[in-house]
Structure 1
């Protein structure tokens, strides 16, 4: 069975992406690169890779939709989504695909993803408030998974719809999972397939509490999209309470304890304003 592998790029580490492509170079994988970088990474285009360069940064959601459509238009039924820095392997992919195929015999599954081994904490993440419901020794049902390593079927993509391009980035993968669950489909996380991963650029402790530290501009999308998603009935209540209530603390920490505090403050205030006014899309457009 040929399975799609969609990798979204934005100014990537070309050497790491090349290793990822080499790992999936056999005929059982159909590789698609969707590049949001301002300049084409021509060295990544080859005969066994479909390379799509966007003339402008269209965001993670739209880029994923472009890649998935390219895979499904070729008649393939299953596709993985990967980040450009994913430490993903064919061994992990085959395990997830096997579990997906078995699950869809008995339930309407939307997606499955690997367990995540956090490279900052050096342990497998279990979730803070929602740890999921273990259904077997190798699987648990969860409310959401991250996009990196996510396996989606064409059938689920048609039923749930594409990723929400208006969100641009941040919250995109979770929103799709919540929308799938609202349509009666299930999300699973594998306990037997585990992927090393890092979210954010760093971890910083403030008064004994660990915070993720990313690029200042990401705060705009994070703050804006929390306010946008918090209004939707299918978004879990625990997520709304946790993220909305955390806004004041996150603002103080990013503004006064992290480097580039003034810049971070500007992005956070802009995100709060646009989230309140329900402005979506790319910040660059404004």
Structure 2
């Protein structure tokens, strides 16, 4: 399949650092085209970094009029990739680093027998520590209930069936939503554990707590608003499945760090409470986005 399929990569850029240049260059060695979505227009530092990115072969910069969010940003690149005739779309956050041979490994998962695969993703490693996240130390290709956006490879056939990301979510749980829609459509999500993506969650910094080394995400109050709001929306849409209990365990650990170790605890708690109310009040409609 790798010899015939046309693959476009989409990289979402919001005030990126110079590290994005190296990652896009690595992507250019594997993908046929790269669409870098500029989600921070009229920012001089971003313009300087993306000018270097734009000089890489096969790169197209897609400037947005404002910060349209993760969902709409990914969609802008995905629409362009599909309009240009690509068979697969491979999406990335700017804080992820692709590994050599990753595309070949992910494409191979779509040849698996059985129900069609909609999305294939790599195993995840913490960029800060160099250690694989919990549950990632496996091998082979295994079915999943959800995949994170960064590093995920989508088939054109699946996107035409389930649509793109729900742009009203803006950020957080965007990946859960499109994953669950794929499952509801009878498609598969798989993780290829033999290829690894280095990924950083939030503005992660090292800290100490009770003599132990920990890493704090330091998400802004705005992120806590969207995380809480969208978690409630996911519960309303998809119920309390396995995803919820895994997510609840992660959220509990994260909030312990927020309450005991991070600054601006008050604004973060208030933002989360506003998100809770907004999630309950959110008007549910058809989420298929073309």
**What is the TM-score with the length of structure 1 in the denominator?**
0.82
C-alpha separation in 2, matches of 1:27 and 1:95: 11
Alignment of 1:128-139 (within 5 A): 138-139=140-141
Counterpart selection for 1:34 from 31, 34, 37: 37
Q: Which residue of 1 aligns with 2:276?
A: 272
Identify the residue that residue 225 of structure 1 maps to in structure 2: 230
Cα 1:88–1:27 shift into 2, 3 Å: closer
Q: Aligned in 2, Cα 1:123/1:109: closer, same or farther, shift over 3 Å? A: same
Answer whether contact 1:226 1:244 (CA < 8 A) is retained.
no
1:70 equivalent in alignment to 2:107: no
Matched positions, count: 270
State the 1:252 CA deviation.
6.5
- 2-side partners of 1:246 and 1:88: how far apart? 25
Query: What secondary structure sits across from 1:263 in the alignment?
Result: helix
> Using the alignment, how far apart are the partners of 1:149 and 1:106 within structure 2?
23
Quote the RMSD (CA, aligned, Å). 2.9
**Distance in 2 (alpha carbons) for counterparts of 1:126 and 1:250:** 15
Determine the C-alpha separation between the residues in 2 that align with 1:251 and 1:27.
Answer: 38
Q: Secondary structure at the match of 1:32?
A: strand
**Where does residue 15 of structure 2 map in the other structure?**
11
Mapped partners of 1:141, 1:187: distance in 2: 6
Q: Give the match for residue 283 of structure 1.
A: none
Change in Cα spacing, 1:222 to 1:173, as seen in structure 2 (3 Å) is same
Cα contact 1:206–1:253 (8 A) shared by 2:
no
Return the alpha-carbon distance in structure 1 between the equivalents of residues 254 and 243 of structure 2: 15
From 109, 112, 115, the equivalent of 1:107 is: 115
1:50 is paired with a residue of what secondary structure? strand
Residue 35 of structure 1: how far off its partner (Å): 1.1
C-alpha distance after superposition, 1:42-94 (max 9, x if no partner): 51334631111111111101111111110111111111001112111351122
Query: Residues 174 and 206 of structure 1: is their aligned pair in 2 closer, same or farther, counting only changes over 3 Å?
Result: farther
**In 2: Cα distance, 1:156 partner to 1:90 partner:** 25
Aligned to 1:82: 92
Query: How much does 1:155 deviate?
Result: 0.4
Asked if structure 2 preserves the Cα contact closer than 8 Å seen for 1:255 and 1:264, the reply is no
Separation in 1, partners of 2:192, 2:218: 27
Q: Which runs of 5+ in 1 are unaligned?
A: 281-286
1:52 & 1:173 partners in 2: Cα distance?
21
Change (3 A) 1:67 1:271: same
Task: Please name the residue that 1:177 is paired with.
Answer: 179
- 1:198 Cα deviation after fit: 1.9
Whole-angstrom CA distance in 2 between matches of 1:262 and 1:38: 31
